[in-house]
Structure 1
Amino acid sequence: MGEIDAMKSLDDSLSSLEKDAQRRVLSWAWSKFVGADSGEAAPNIQGVKSSGKKVGKKKVPNKGAAPASGKKTVISMDKSLNLNPSGKTSAEDFVAAKKPSNVQEKCVVACFYLRDMMSVAQVNVSGVYTFFKHVGWPLPTDLKNALQKAGSSGWLDTADSENILITSTGENLVEHKLPKSKD
């Protein structure tokens, strides 16, 4: 099968799926054939048809997005989070064990900790912000964008900033690849 035939087959296969399923398949394919460890960021596949044309969307207000005036959105601390719980691993100890080396890895570690160690039902930008502040990490200029970049790497699903999900690739990063071994 040639490259053009493969593209036609992919287009035929993806066209029959709903948009969310298309994203999952493309994210899986990217991870399998290019890999999150390649250093190459996954393309932003949200809102793109399999034909490569932009899908028209209704203009929907985006919670947490910068206002049109150019002012940045202020993210608030989630004061309900106890990141030093008794009987559980503290956020500081978890970070020390995982040793994430860049801001995207830190975003995934924060989301993983909140979901798996703290049992937060819906991880959001405020929770990640609170985690960064609590462990003393410098904040990225645009935290929401940093989370989306971690999503582009296949580690997070950031389609809903009020319910950030960790993909199986993100789980594998935290559970099996961090801390990075020295080769």
Structure 2
Amino acid sequence: MPDLTQRLQDALSQSGDASSDFDLNDDVRVPDHALTAASVLIGIRAETETVILTKRSARLKHHPGQIAFPGGKQDPGDAGPIDAALREAQEEIGLPRHQVDILGALPPHQTVTGYQVTPVLALVNGGFDPTPEAGEVSEVFEVPLRHVTSPQMFQIEGRRWQGRKRHYYAVPYGPYYIWGATARILRALAERMT
């Protein structure tokens, strides 16, 4: 079996379209306004083959308590999507840049909230003790890579949104309900790794 780095590089080399929160909802119209650039870090611990995720603070105005990758909006001072993902990961979970080996990026993901998100795939090397930024992150946890890259682990679920039923991917893990944009981005990775 190829090593982790080779498997991830092979996944990045696979063709695939950009994803969106609209993929499972043909009746939902894609916003026609300019999207805000954002990035997330799909950080995979090399030693344990686990994906680092966060639980957002319940005090946040947007997406409180949801499971997410470290990441956020690109700032004017960021050199690009990779720089933004690294900055956000350092701010949100205390991940030092020197412990991150960038492998590349998946095609962008468009959210219903108006963001064009670049998922940056990276290996996290060495001992890393997460430090959640109290205002944004209530918990940092890890999920086995094999769990979130196995298509059979994903479910299609739905709930009402803006007066209609909206469908989305979910990939629950223990007490963590991973859904929405985070699950869709993981599903895009899973599709490339199988």
| TM-score, with structure 1 as normaliser | 0.24
Which of the two has greater helix per residue?
A: 1
Normalising by structure 2, what TM-score?
0.24
| Richer in strand (by share) | 2
Q: Specify the structure having the higher radius of gyration (Cα).
A: 1
